[in-house]
Amino acid sequence: MSGKIIDGKAIALEVRKQWKQRVIELKDRGILPGLAVIIVGSNPASQVYVRNKIKACHEVGIHSELIELPEDVSEPQLLSTIENLNRNTQINGILVQLPLPDTIDVNKVLETISVEKDVDGFHLYNLGALMAGSTIFPPCTPYGVQCLLEHSSIPIEGQNAVIVGRSNIVGKPMALMLLQKNATVSICTSKTRDLKQFTSLADILVVATGKPNLITADMVKPGAAVIDVGINRLDDGRLVGDVDFEGVKEVAGYITPVPGGVGPMTITMLVANTVIAAEKANSSV
């Protein structure tokens, strides 16, 4: 068996068309959705991600503002920048690119973003709402994975979903979203004893650990949907995920490539959340 490659780039372009239409409808009402993106320091990977987010906004007609702060920005300065954006009526969504320097308390930063503008879905309120199954802003990466599964007509209800990685950004929200769709969910970590014992039961395997080649063909159930959230730069410059793509694609039913799998969908869901934020902010206009 050779797995069907899920073309995240193509699906993202198709999904973005719907959101572009929603932006046109807002503009017809005189409303221009706006996203502010804050980046601290010069992490090369973060710079690429942020550039791509701004580009996607431009493509669908969302106004965007990039705020670049130096690595040594103080926490009060960063919090005050966010508070100004909270008050700015031109801005519907605020995103602070992670990671932040160790000198800054990331939780404090995320809690300062207004809940109504938290298009990353990282505020405690939005994470709590996700727990209760009623969030407005699902975190973009797991939301993108869910959208890829649905777009590829991969069933979720009743399936065994195994998630490797328990980050607040991907693993934990992914588990809640799949649980909400009635999957049977297991969360594994880098400390899980005999990881293969779990992964080989997965109908849906989502991997987000930052460890190249962690998942090999012998760990995958034939026909499974394998979603690789990892993005790792190897010493030779190549970009790879956490899954041994060449080996696993021979066993899996579906597999996402890196790059061109989950990444473009993360950005698409950011666009979606920003449009929703603008619609909600203007729901009585």
Catalytic annotation, residues:
53, 97, 120
Q: Which is nearer to ligand GUN, 226 or 229 (CB)?
A: 229
Helix runs in the chain, H state only: 8-28, 44-60, 75-87, 106-112, 124-131, 140-151, 171-180, 195-199, 245-248, 262-281
188 binds ligand GUN (CB under 6 A): no
CB of 169 to ligand GUN, least distance (A): 6
266 binds ligand GUN (CB under 6 A): yes
141 binds ligand GUN (CB under 6 A): yes
- Note whether 158 and 231 are within 8 A (CB): no
Rounded distance between C-alpha atoms, residue 222 and residue 201, angstroms: 10
Q: Of 26, 109, 140, 174, which one interacts with ligand GUN (CB under 6 A)?
A: 140
Residues in 24-83 that interact with ligand GUN by CB under 6 A: none
Dihedral (C-alpha) 144, 116, 33, 96: value to the nearest 10 degrees? -60
Contacts of 166 (CB under 8 A, 6+ apart): 172, 187, 189
With contacts defined by CB under 6 A, name the span among 91-99, 196-204, 205-213, 243-251 that binds ligand GUN: 91-99
Please report how the helices 262-281 and 44-60 are oriented relative to each other, as an axis angle in degrees rounded to 10: 50
97 binds ligand GUN (CB under 6 A): yes
Q: Which is nearer to ligand GUN, 173 or 257 (CB)?
A: 173
Q: How many chain residues interact with ligand GUN (CB under 6 A)? A: 9
Edge-to-edge strand list for the sheet holding 34-40: 63-69, 34-40, 93-96
With contacts defined by CB under 6 A, name the span among 80-88, 92-100, 157-165, 235-243 that binds ligand GUN: 92-100
In angstroms, how far is the first alpha carbon of the chain from the final one?
Answer: 54
169 binds ligand GUN (CB under 6 A): yes
Which residue is nearest to ligand GUN, using beta carbons?
Answer: 98
Q: Which is nearer to ligand GUN, 185 or 269 (CB)?
A: 269
120 binds ligand GUN (CB under 6 A): yes
Residue from 19, 32, 23, 21 nearest 91 by CA: 32
The residues that touch ligand GUN, with contacts defined as CB under 6 A, are: 95-98, 120, 140-141, 169, 266
